[in-house]
Structure 1
């Protein structure tokens, strides 16, 4: 489809064009970093700015390129940047040119202060706890800290007839190795999680007061792509599947009136004053896709202000942040 042939609205002007699976990390010194999947699926990029709005026009640097053969040589997807114990880590998924669907999560490490200019070392595939866990097609890895421990959440396909994608969680021994069995967080139980494919993927962690929330994306990557929500009390055992609550309906989905299609695969970052939660997500401006939606390049990055009602996050496309607001905040 002609990228200009779409309905323009107040809500569908991108923050950054042609960057899917967007991730923004604000460091302890206030510096903001941006990374995302590029349409070519062949490299990992970083942007850096002293503010979230500044990332829109910041220069972009390629910090790693795919291999020419073997592992990590195809489908370089969904990178995330994290700082753990003073070192930088990038988690991303990749296949191989001779088996592009043999997707697994990999880890890069940078021990220098500046991830934009520092040297990145390949640590290989995220290491499993045992031979029974974490062995199949898996992607969209994110990590977070809770009560001094680090946890990893990812999507992995399992065989129940045709393979389906569930979300799993495990504690981490190191930034590159799991220390417990994987626990199922959610499977695609509902009709809105089963359109095109049965999928739960793209987890993102949001903490608010005494709650931990995990958003995730569901269904195929076209207009049916949407977002679900899990939650748990911070005092509960987060490796106890039964302690997590799953919302019955999607919390964000396509809205033709606003020109937003297939919203999902998000991350969260605080506003400049530290008071407001901002969701960073991707979506398209149209639903007429020729061929496989996975290879349509026009998934763009958007920002949305998250409101809170009775302690729960509200995801409303009317709260998308527009360009003039970017300028005011910068």
Structure 2
């Protein structure tokens, strides 16, 4: 269990910044949903990749110490028995849904990364219960490495956005970003539409990757952020933008930013910021970027085996043209013993 050692934030910093980082340690791929009951619900990848945990609190500051509840565990064998990645919790049409990726046992298949996407459902008003049931695999139309699903509603339509491999689109790519309309929270209605593939120099460092999509709606626009490159210090966030009145299933409706919108800050010792989500402040007046990063670069072995990707938060500023300014990852303002 973590222990807060000291707060390194000055009184001046305290006045200028509302939140202290990291908000939760050793939780990668963080997703926060602020519900109508006033609670923040937090979910993320755990370092063991063997279960799905959920916690809730009235404030973001309280999430680190909040009681953690395991709502689902990996299967002993079969298609959901390994590497449980990037869960997200959504409230759709009066029910709770958790989207996540899982792989079959690599000792059986001989393949390390062979993920598919799955859904859990809970009709209870409080998701911190055992009433989660498996709705099964999301079928996209072809079988390949697939992960990092998110959903959003717009103009009375439910959309699914995710990352998936397709060698016919780009043979070097590990994953591209797709969108489809949903029939219900576990079934696609339309055919997948390719929105982005790794092609720019900052998207193809060590690995060709577009993954971890997240949706932010503001100022008549829909912003789709995603993460790119390897999961070390090269990891960064890119963005697609569409007009809210456009056809979201048309690739031409989306414009890709030519540069990353959020990346490593060597000055602030924050490396590989990515796999973000969005929420709002306690009073609802500020949009927040939730993401993970590390505070060192000396990694041993596969970056995925390093547990110290900590969940963090930044207050989003807005430019005059109505687009988000994510700034740079702020320095650590408190130190944890892990």
TM normalised by structure 1 equals 0.91
Match of residue 65, structure 2, among 33, 57, 63: 57
Cross-structure match for 2:124? 112
Q: Larger deviation: 45-54 or 235-244?
A: 45-54
Q: For 1:26 and 1:111, how far apart are their aligned partners in 2? A: 18
In structure 2, the partner of 1:214 is 224
Alignment check: 8 A CA contact 2:173 2:197 kept: no
CA gap 1:179/1:219 in 2 versus in 1, 3 angstroms = same
Shift of 1:56: 2.3
Residues 1:101 and 2:109 are matched in the alignment: no
Superposed, 1:228-307 pairs within 5 Å as 228-307=238-317
Work out which of the residue numbers 212, 231, 237 in structure 2 matches 1:227: 237
TM alignment of 1:1-330, pairs within 5 A: 13-97=21-105, 98-99=108-109, 100-128=112-140, 133-159=141-167, 160-310=170-320, 311-317=322-328, 322=333
**1:37–1:77 CA contact under 8 A, matched in 2:** yes
Distance in structure 2 (CA, Å) of the matches to 1:113 and 1:123: 18
> Partner of 1:256: helix, strand, or coil?
coil
CA distance in structure 1 between the partners assigned to 2:309 and 2:180 by the alignment = 30
Q: Say if 1:317 and 1:12 are closer, same or farther in 2 by CA, change over 3 A.
A: farther
Following superposition, the deviation at residue 241 of structure 1 comes to: 0.3
1:328 aligned partner: none
- Residues 304, 321 of structure 1: 8 Å contact kept: no
Normalised by the length of structure 2, the TM-score is: 0.89
Superposed displacement of residue 251, structure 1:
0.7
Cα distance, 1:193–1:248 mapped onto 2, change above 3 Å: same
Task: Assess, with a 3 A threshold, how the Cα gap between structure 1 residues 318 and 65 changes in structure 2: closer, same or farther.
Answer: closer
Give the total of aligned pairs.
313
Root-mean-square deviation (CA, aligned residues, Å) is 1.9
CA offsets 1:234-290 (integer angstroms, 9 cap, x no match):
010111101101100001111111010000000000111111001110000011111
Q: Is the 8 A contact 2:265 2:329 kept in 1?
A: no
Residues 319 and 283 from structure 1, CA distance in 2 versus in 1: closer, same or farther, beyond 3 angstroms? closer
Tell me the distance in 2 between the aligned counterparts of 1:101 and 1:164.
10
Cα distance between partner residues in 1 of 2:67 and 2:333: 21
Q: Report the Cα distance in structure 2 between the residues aligned to 1:96 and 1:118, rounded to whole angstroms.
A: 24
SS at match of 2:153: strand
Q: CA offset at residue 323 of structure 1? A: 5.9
Bigger drift between 50-59 and 146-155 goes to 50-59
* Separation (CA, whole Å) in 2 of partners of 1:266 and 1:213: 13
Q: Deviation of residue 51 (structure 1)?
A: 2.4
